[in-house]
């Protein structure tokens, strides 16, 4: 693995923001970079590798809770139960419950959403925006989105509000 201290330093700065976006073409080492960074960032990390099936909000929430349970085993149990009920509550209600649980964690966490470019569902985007707006600053989750291309225009409102850090390296291998 090629050391990339400059890019790791930029990711560390992103810990003070609500969102860090990493955008580069396929094969440029985004996952390797983030893997190296989370190994040394000193925060518990939940990693969710997304696929096209995660465009379904219920499936996305199931996978999100499963990723978060790698940090705290019982986190989101109520949300999982509600998702498996015959008529699950609205996504916003489930996210509120999940966020309330996250705020009880003793330390800040990092949530990595890998391959976010496969998500096209507005409902999933809305859920993530809702999560960011409702997040308690005392337990703020730094999120990393790894995407290909320039699909992530939805983060522009976060960048304007100085809440997002973005890394669009022309060649992250050169970091």
pTM of the model: 0.78
Token pair, residue 39, equals 């190994």
Write down the pLDDT at residue 22.
85
Write down the pLDDT at residue 162.
43
Write down the pLDDT at residue 29.
87
* Count of the separate structural domains present in the chain: 1
Token pair, residue 99, equals 């966020």
Write down the pLDDT at residue 167.
53
Q: How many CB atoms lie under 10 A from the CB of residue 74? A: 8
Write down the pLDDT at residue 172.
47
- CA torsion sign, 151 to 63 to 21 to 94? positive
Is residue 29 left, alpha or beta, with left meaning phi > 0 and alpha meaning psi from -120 to 50? Answer: left
Write down the pLDDT at residue 132.
56
Write down the pLDDT at residue 93.
85
Name the nearest CA neighbour of 142 among 34, 1, 31, 32: 34
- pLDDT tens across 118-143, in order? 888 887 777 676 655 554 443 444 44
Residue with tokens 């996978």: 63
Radius of gyration of the chain (CA): 16
Tell me which residues of the chain have a pLDDT lower than 70: 127, 129-175
Q: How far from each other are the two terminal CA atoms of the chain, in whole angstroms?
A: 12
111 touches 67 (CB < 8 A)? yes
96 touches 134 (CB < 8 A)? yes
Rounded Cα distance, 145 and 165, in Å: 11
Write down the pLDDT at residue 50.
92
169 touches 34 (CB < 8 A)? no
- The CATH number for 148's domain is 3.40.50.300
- CA torsion sign, 8 to 131 to 60 to 84? positive
Q: Domain limits at 162?
A: 5-174
């Amino acid at each position: 693995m090629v050391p990339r201290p400059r890019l790791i330093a930029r990711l560390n700065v992103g810990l003070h923001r609500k969102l860090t976006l990493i955008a580069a073409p396929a094969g440029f080492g985004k996952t390797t970079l983030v893997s190296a960074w989370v190994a040394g960032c000193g925060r518990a990390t939940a990693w969710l590798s997304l696929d096209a099936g995660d465009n379904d909000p219920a499936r996305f929430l199931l996978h999100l809770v499963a990723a978060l349970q790698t940090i705290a085993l019982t986190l989101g149990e109520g949300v999982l139960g509600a998702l498996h009920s015959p008529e699950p509550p609205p996504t916003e209600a489930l996210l509120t419950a999940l966020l309330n649980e996250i705020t009880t964690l003793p330390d800040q966490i990092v949530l990595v959403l890998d391959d976010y470019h496969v998500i096209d569902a507005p409902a999933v985007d809305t859920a993530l925006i809702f999560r960011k707006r409702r997040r308690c600053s005392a337990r703020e989750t730094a999120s990393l989105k790894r995407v290909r291309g320039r699909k992530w225009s939805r983060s522009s409102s976060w960048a304007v509000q100085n809440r997002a850090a973005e890394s669009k390296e022309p060649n992250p291998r050169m970091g």
